[in-house]
Amino acid sequence: MTKIRLLLADDHPLIREGFRSLLTKNERFELVGIAENGKELVELAGSLSPDIILTDINMPVMNGMEAIEQIHKLYPNVKCVILTMHEEREYIIKALKLGVYGYILKNIERFDLEKAIIAVYEGGKYFSPIVTNILAESVVRPEQAPVAELTPREKEVLELVAQGLSTKQVADKLGIGTRTVESHRVNMLKKMKVNNTAELIRKSIEMKIL
């Protein structure tokens, strides 16, 4: 029987050990490596040639989403699966846009985890039930009212804000004043018809602006 080569990435030692223990109990699986951050994950993806990567989202140096984006460009045959506690809709939507083969919550049972890995290896996809429900709700939601188009400068500000930069950091990066940055932010909230920055980023991801 051909072994399924797995690469695991998580920054928490106890979680890494827990999933290492689960994965090595199945004789069909071969855990070829474990990464502690996104940068290490990209490097190991190249040197170990796994079939499937199981990665968390929030990790130091480089997060899981950024790592997946690089891996898909460098090693398109590797199948990436998110393994996380995050069940927020914006994370799920962004992961789907990156082309992940699965989105699994960490409270998954061992049997279901094994089923998910095998399904992905055989060409399918796997999403935890809660994730599937969230996706279903997204499909049945009524169409949102159209929004005004953002200017190129507003998009620049939005991208930097989405990266977690403060108003001053955005201003310094773009060589503009903090009041100008704040003005752009207020205008974007009005155009996108949202109430705060978190909603602005979420809606921008949904509309593929980010």
Q: Same structural domain for residues 96 and 174?
A: no
Q: Name the pairing type of β-strands 79-84 and 52-55.
A: parallel
Asked whether residue 115 falls in the same domain as residue 162, the answer is no
pLDDT attached to residue 206: 79
Instruction: Identify whether 146 is part of a domain.
Output: no
- 136 in a structural domain: yes
**71 and 168 in one domain?**
no
Shared domain check, 160 and 134:
no
**pTM above threshold 0.85:** no
Distance CA 10, CA 16 (A): 6
For residues 184 and 87, membership in a common domain is answered with no
Do 132 and 157 lie in a common domain?
A: no
Does one domain contain both 97 and 180? no
Consecutive 10-residue averages of pLDDT for the chain (210 residues): 93 93 93 96 96 95 95 95 90 89 92 94 91 70 59 92 89 94 92 86 82
